[in-house]
Amino acid sequence: MIVNRILSLKGRDVATIEPSRTLSEAAKVLAERRIGALLIVDGQRPVSGIISERDIVRAVANHGAKALEEPVSRFMTEKVLTCTGETPIPDVMELMTQQKFRHVPVVEGGRLVGIVSIGDVVKERLEEVEAEATAIKEYIATA
């Protein structure tokens, strides 16, 4: 299975925010959309950063409530690893596990085309395992 399979099921909508927006605005978007991260887009690169719930909590813990009025660019993760739609799902799982992050943007041809979360990847993998188990049970029943 590849990342495009996940995107075909969940869609390619990506929540983004500009780097000059405040951390408070980012938190509101995350809460309204019930998601864990926003991609930062600056119009020059497909992805210039990512801001997650953890980043916001860390910013408030380290800088107090005043951090909420600071731009997201101050607290975002700038080094964002991406994948393509052709990336195998086990490779994305390994990347997320090794790097300890939960969201991977999907970039193709210099364009942001989607995002996959650890939840998306686990759900897809569980469905794959369940399908394999069903196939094995059917094979055994007919043998």
Domains and CATH numbers, the chain: 3-142 (3.10.580.10)
Strand arrangement, sheet containing 16-17: 16-17, 37-40, 49-52
Please check the confidence at residue 138 and state whether its pLDDT lies above 90: no
Cβ proximity of 1 and 88 under 8 Å: yes
Average pLDDT over residues 15-21: 96
Element spanning 98, H or E: helix 89-99
The pair phi, psi for residue 83, each rounded to 5°, is -135, 180
Cβ proximity of 76 and 22 under 8 Å: no
pLDDT band at 108 (very low <50, low <70, confident <90, very high): very high
- pTM for this one? 0.86
Q: Tell me how far CA of residue 11 lies from CA of 6, 22, 45, 67, 87, in angstroms.
A: 8, 27, 22, 33, 17
Element spanning 27, H or E: helix 23-33
Bridge-based pairing state of the strands 103-108 and 111-117: antiparallel
Query: Tens digits of per-residue pLDDT, 29-68?
Result: 999 999 999 999 998 889 999 999 999 999 999 999 999 9
Element spanning 140, H or E: helix 118-142
pLDDT band at 4 (very low <50, low <70, confident <90, very high): very high
Q: What is the dihedral of CA 14, 68, 76, 13, to 10 degrees?
A: 0
